[in-house]
Structure 1
Amino acid sequence: MVRGKTQMRRIENATSRQVTFSKRRNGLLKKAFELSVLCDAEVALVIFSPRGKLYEFASSSMQETIERYKNHVKDVQPDTSSVEDVQNLKHETAAMAQKVEHLEVAKRKLLGEGLGTSTIEELLQVEQQLERSVRIIRARKMQVYTEQIEQLQAKEKMLADENALLNEKCQQLKDCGTDEIGANICLLENGENVSDVETELFIGPPETRMKQRWPK
């Protein structure tokens, strides 16, 4: 008689469930013993019955096998911190993407776009925001104008000072030139500056002039 395939699900009948547990438990313990003997493997098997009764098998020492298992798991345990960091980065990226989307929507509304689905409250908020922006822009513009006027006034004062200094230097040069001309005139009047040019008047041929100047 061919045995049918057992369905892998919980057996509802308590008696059948207990019988199946006993049979398969014994078979599992037998297989564990055979594996340890045939393959020289270190095997440890722990079974708790539905009622909490313990069944175990160890090819050497159960405690030593458990400690060996703990050490092995500790050595090969994956780094969960990196996985958590990746998850956190994903959450932050999603949050930033959502913020960017909200900002893009707000930007389009400020530009007068995408207002078809806006409520009256949202339109009032956009209007108030634009009015605040205009006030800030005008205040900044007046500040820039004031700074430019102050810079031009400072430049004008600097140029005026330079002009006054140049006028003073020109006046000094004029005064020096006038004094020098006056001094030359005084020297001429006092006869201190004698010219080599003959200024006497002679009438007649050149020979007569020479004789008159240098008589023999």
Structure 2
Amino acid sequence: MVRGKTQMNRIENATSRQVTFSKRRNGLLKKAFELSVLCDAEIALIIFSPRGKLYEFASSSMQATIERYRNHNRDAQTCTRFCEQNMQHLKQETETMMKKIEQLEISKRKLLGEDFGSCSIKELEDIEQQLERSVKNIRERKIQVFKEQVEQLKEKGKALAAENARLAEKHDTLEKQARNKNHGEKPASLENSPTSEVETALFIGLPETRGIALPQYVV
């Protein structure tokens, strides 16, 4: 079962109100003292009775605590004021940037040949001059890129020519070495051919009688 909140009202009876004030005041002062001791907190408590009598408690110095509170409150107000000013500045800057973006979008459409209906002669002349300057810059950049590419091709051509000359020189050297080697060696067909004479004599008779001297007929 959930209990509802108890509604507190002012005590109408003056005697009961004074008794309750005394009890609650003493309890509050006691709790403030205990909190300062247990938690090492800096506490300053000020109470004025209905008749204007002052009751106070301070864990260190009432004046020092009040001054600290004032400084803290002043810093908080300064921070809040600074944040508000910063937010206002950011809001204005955002609105300015939005207007610039809108103007750039309008200029972009005009440069693309759109939304010319509201342009005056002066605006059309300005757009024409801007386009002419843009075309001039593009052509200059194009010529520069062509020149750079031509220079690169020339460098590549020089490198290829040097490589071709080196390969031709190497080929001539190898060909000369091959000719010198072939000139110093005899043909293999002459070196391997037999130097003994070929017998052309014809022997008649059985093989066993070849050792016997017989008339020979030379063919």
Which TM bucket (shorter chain)? Answer: 0.5 to 0.7
- Separation (CA, whole Å) in 2 of partners of 1:202 and 1:95: 122
Are 2:132 and 1:163 aligned?
Answer: no
Counterpart residue number, 2:134: 133
Q: How do 1:1-216 and structure 2 match up within 5 A?
A: 42=47, 60=54, 72=69, 74-76=71-73, 77-78=76-77, 79-80=79-80, 81-185=82-186, 195-199=191-195, 200-203=197-200
Structure 1 segments of 4+ aligned residues over 3 angstroms from their partners? 38-43, 57-61, 65-74, 193-197
SS of structure 1 residue aligned to 2:119: coil
- Separation (CA, whole Å) in 2 of partners of 1:134 and 1:71: 69
Post-superposition CA distance 1:173-205 (Å, at most 9, x none): 1110111111114xx7xxxx9835424323368
Unpaired stretches in structure 2, ≥5 consecutive residues? 1-16, 26-45, 56-61, 212-219
How much is the aligned-residue C-alpha RMSD, in angstroms? 3.7
Indicate the percent of aligned positions where both proteins have the same amino acid: 36
- Separation (CA, whole Å) in 2 of partners of 1:117 and 1:155: 55
SS of structure 1 residue aligned to 2:191: coil
- Separation (CA, whole Å) in 1 of partners of 2:168 and 2:181: 20
Aligned residues: 153
CA 1:59–1:95: 2 relative to 1, 3 Å: farther
CA 1:83–1:162: 2 relative to 1, 3 Å: same
**Aligned-partner residue type, residue 72 of structure 2:** D
Unpaired stretches in structure 1, ≥5 consecutive residues? 1-33, 44-56, 212-216
CA 1:173–1:72: 2 relative to 1, 3 Å: same
Post-superposition CA distance 1:91-136 (Å, at most 9, x none): 1111111111111111111011111001111111000000000000
- Separation (CA, whole Å) in 1 of partners of 2:144 and 2:114: 31
**Aligned-partner residue type, residue 158 of structure 1:** A
- Separation (CA, whole Å) in 2 of partners of 1:197 and 1:148: 66
- Separation (CA, whole Å) in 1 of partners of 2:198 and 2:52: 157
- Separation (CA, whole Å) in 1 of partners of 2:184 and 2:149: 52
Q: What is the TM-score normalised by the length of structure 1?
A: 0.58
Post-superposition CA distance 1:73-97 (Å, at most 9, x none): 5434342222222222111111111
Q: What is the TM-score normalised by the length of structure 2?
A: 0.57
Counterpart residue number, 2:4: none
- Separation (CA, whole Å) in 2 of partners of 1:82 and 1:109: 41
SS of structure 2 residue aligned to 1:168: helix
SS of structure 1 residue aligned to 2:185: helix
